[in-house]
Structure 1
């Protein structure tokens, strides 16, 4: 009997293996075409060529260290990693459903006939094995596996998206922190210069060279700088805490940042054709995956009204310790819904509607990406010119202040002109810091729009 059992079992498994090879409809699904804009829209000489590790082009080891820490300690990254792990487990579960099920059961019972008062309990036991398998006639399980693989890839893209977003946030916050430190150093320098000029004005006032009005005006400048200095100190503390939070520091502290905006390397610019780069954006790829998954849902809803075929086999014995009375059984069942009150039709209509929504969302995502890319390129062009203009304004006001100081010292002009030149120069210095910061932030925005970072 046992050879027959083995032969029958092998035949059962072989038949199941052959039938499990049904192909999922997603295997032959063509990717949704992307309607990219004309290439000439993106041909801009001041655009930046995206790089996988674009942040390293800034030449800051401090920033590299902060990003390494952020990828390990940031809670958003940790959550995305766990979701990727869960999606991988879900895929393994879907693949496991493709195998026949096999189970064993051991039972024991005691029975006593109440009509026979002298009779004791009679013991009995049983041992059974059962196997079952539902034939994947319409590639439902194959579609489930493909959908699970798509879900896993979507989570990989979600992790990349979180890492890209975090990278941009850390770089932006790092630049903001450097700018805040430079503004604070500049404010201290301007305050020292203002106090020195106020001291000189006090001496001249006591000598009767200048009036009390002019001395009071300079005093106002000093007081204004003191007020600005206090605000900058608070802002700098906030910037440090914000960066520490992004990095994932439990103490809300980060190592001392010593670099300046001038020391950051500005990446070289080049002509690019970035329209195709939009297709590598995680949000566009995720939208495409969502569209494919919605197509799978339509297929699965439609197959719900088709027949299903299941196979089963069983092997049992009447005694556990000394198996006897072996029995072998086979079964086949074919089932299909006949009357369901329109439930399956409603499920199909719901799935088809969801697919149309996914198609609209995909096109909307592509269009939004194009707008974002064009805006980023335009902003970079604007900031290039603003940076050059700020440099020219600063140089001009530096010369103006020097000339005003010379003329005032020689008595050719009054203090009002010197005070005006001083305030304009201070303002030009602040504007220069803001221009450098804005230019760097425009670069970051462009990288995040067109660039990418390595997969985890």
Structure 2
């Protein structure tokens, strides 16, 4: 047996080690889809990289407080932290195979032997015995199966750490986006409150002209309908604002109706941050690094599955004794030393199937890594494009609103003088109201695109920042 196995040793070692080196040696090939990727030149060459706590650039103390609470109390983060602890425990369990196992067996038993004496009488011979044994066993890791299994667990732990970093970034982005939506909803509430008062004042003017004979009844009815429309819009805006406040409460780990915010305006955005080179982004993004760690972990699992097809060699030592007197236990002990070789001869192809399964999982992990990398690059480019174009849209809405308000002012002056028809006033009021809402929504979307850019560019939150927040 020994001579038959010896020629297979170099082949088995080559297979196991080759499986470990497969992914690393193919790294340039895996990355060739995005090695020449570029971003649109929309950022100033003098731009600086966004800080890890990018939300502080919005200059909102309320947002900063919410962010601290979310990083400390968000339930999704707590679940991810629990997965990290579980991954650490799995690694500890896998590394335990590096050491021998030692077990103790002890017992006390009673033996009764029934028989017949020479005189033909029934006899019962009873005896009490105390037994104990120590057993030590250790597997010699000939083909690195244990080492690769432990390394796979270590890489899984690393992937879970990256997952936690990515989750922190995701929660920060969700919280900042929801906060911006709440601020916009609050501004919309104030906008409808102002419009309602303005429409009611205009209604009094139309009713006065009706009493003076300068307007018809339909003008009064249409203006009243506009007042009712503003009241309905205000009710919906209040509902939307309250729902968003509950969403913020959930993100900071609180039940609904447990937080309150003061009124504030949407922030002015700082200059666009530097994007850096695509390769730098991929090394910085924790979700991409998580996907790569999964590739490396699966590659180690392939190596472990290959090694599992070869014989396993283990050592076993035991010390035991059995005596009727516990005081004399181990006075006369038995030692047993053995070397065990377990070689799979036939398993119906189970081990080969496991190797193929792990290889398929490796191909899946590589594809998922490439997908994560390409999406990371697209996230940055899309956010740059959207913010640039959204700025143009915001500027356009601001100019439109200025013209609409100027036109409405002139139309009311003509209406008071009797030179302008009421339908022109009605149309101008509705158009101006819609433009105000469009402007608030466009400003909120602009802030949202900046938050998306920060998320796309963000790396792991430094430990010092995380400690301050928790």
Report the TM range for the smaller structure's normalisation: 0.7 to 0.9
2:435 is aligned with 1:428: yes
2:118 counterpart of 1:124: no
- 1:291 and 1:28 mapped to 2: Cα distance? 11
1:337-366: CA deviations, max 9, x gaps? 223333332222222222223222322232
2:330 paired with 1:356: no
Q: Write the distance in 2 (CA, Å) between the matches of 1:247 and 1:347.
A: 43
The Cα of 1:453 is off from its aligned counterpart by 4.4
1:96 has 2:96 as partner: yes
Q: Equivalent residue for 1:161? A: 166
In structure 2, relative to structure 1, the CA distance for the partners of 1:408 and 1:119 (3 Å cut) is closer
Partner-residue secondary structure (3-state), 2:113: coil
Native 8 Å contact 1:39 1:273 kept in 2:
no
Deviation at 1:68, TM superposition (A): 2.2
Check if 1:367 corresponds to 2:365. no
Question: What is the distance in 2 between the residues matched to 1:301 and 1:197?
Answer: 80
Q: Distance in 1 between matches of 2:327 and 2:396?
A: 94
Q: In 1, distance between residues paired with 2:36 and 2:358?
A: 34
Give the gaps of 5 or more residues in structure 1: 1-21
Higher mean C-alpha deviation, range 42-51 or range 354-363: 42-51
User: Which residue does 1:278 correspond to in 2?
Assistant: 282
| Cα deviation, residue 454, structure 1 | 0.9
Say whether 1:253 aligns with 2:247. no
Deviation digits for residues 173-212 of structure 1 (CA, Å, limit 9, x no counterpart): 1111111111111101011011111112212221223333
Provide Cα deviations, 1:205-229, integer angstroms capped at 9, x if missing partner: 2122333333333223212212212
What whole-Å deviation, never above 9, does each CA across 1:45-94 have from its counterpart, x for those lacking one? 27994431111211111112222222333321121111111111111111
Closer, same or farther: CA 348–27 of 1 in aligned 2, 3 Å: closer
Please state if 1:322 is matched with 2:328: yes
1:451 corresponds to:
458
Q: How far apart are 1:105 and its partner, in Å?
A: 2.0
Distance 1:114 1:37, change over 3 A: closer
The answer to whether structure 1 residue 391 and structure 2 residue 394 are counterparts is: no
Contact 1:43–1:272 (8 Å) recurs in 2: no
> Quick one: distance in 1 between partners of 2:101 and 2:352?
31
Q: Secondary structure at the match of 2:24?
A: coil
Cα shift readout 1:239-283 (whole Å, capped 9, x = no counterpart): 22222222221244322232221xx24122245335231343233
Secondary structure of the residue aligned to 2:168 is helix
1:3 equivalent in structure 2: none
CA RMSD, Structure 1 to Structure 2 (Å): 2.6
Residues 109, 124 of structure 1: 8 Å contact kept: yes
Query: CA distance change for structure 1 residues 251 and 358 in 2, over 3 Å: closer, same or farther?
Result: closer
1:307 corresponds in structure 2 to 311
1:377-433 per-position Cα deviation (integer Å, ceiling 9, x unaligned): 221111111122222222222322233333334444343433333332222211110
Contact 1:304 1:344 in 2 (8 A): yes
| C-alpha distance in 2 between matches for 1:422 and 1:252 | 36
SS at match of 2:319: strand
> Which of the residues 31, 39, 46 maps onto 1:41?
39
Larger mean Cα displacement after TM superposition, 371-380 or 179-188: 371-380
CA contact (8 A) 2:146 2:304 kept: no
2:24 corresponds to 1:30: yes
Quick one: distance in 1 between partners of 2:262 and 2:380? 31
Conserved 8 A contact 1:24-1:142: no
Tell me how far apart the structure 2 counterparts of residues 278 and 382 of structure 1 sit (CA, whole Å): 26
Is the contact made by 1:57 and 1:265 (CA closer than 8 Å) also made in structure 2?
no
Matching residue of 2:186: 181
Counterpart CA distance in 2 for 1:104 and 1:219 is 90
Residue 39 of structure 1, CA deviation: 5.3
Aligned residues: 433
Is residue 291 of structure 1 aligned with residue 289 of structure 2?
no
From the superposition, tell whether residues 129 and 188 of structure 1 become closer, same or farther in structure 2 (CA, over 3 Å). same
The two structures have a TM-score, normalised by structure 1, of 0.87
Is contact 2:19-2:302 (8 Å) kept? no
User: TM-score, normalization: structure 2?
Assistant: 0.84
Question: Quick one: distance in 2 between partners of 1:62 and 1:26?
Answer: 50
Provide the rounded CA distance (Å) in 2 between the counterparts of 1:58 and 1:442: 13
Q: Does the 8 A contact of 1:376 with 1:446 survive in 2?
A: yes
Q: Distance in 1 between matches of 2:152 and 2:300?
A: 7
Classify the secondary structure of the residue corresponding to 1:113: strand
Post-superposition Cα deviations, 1:261-318, rounded to whole Å, max 9, x if no partner, equal 1xx2412224533523134323322221222122122211211222221111122334
Change (3 A) 1:63 1:289: same
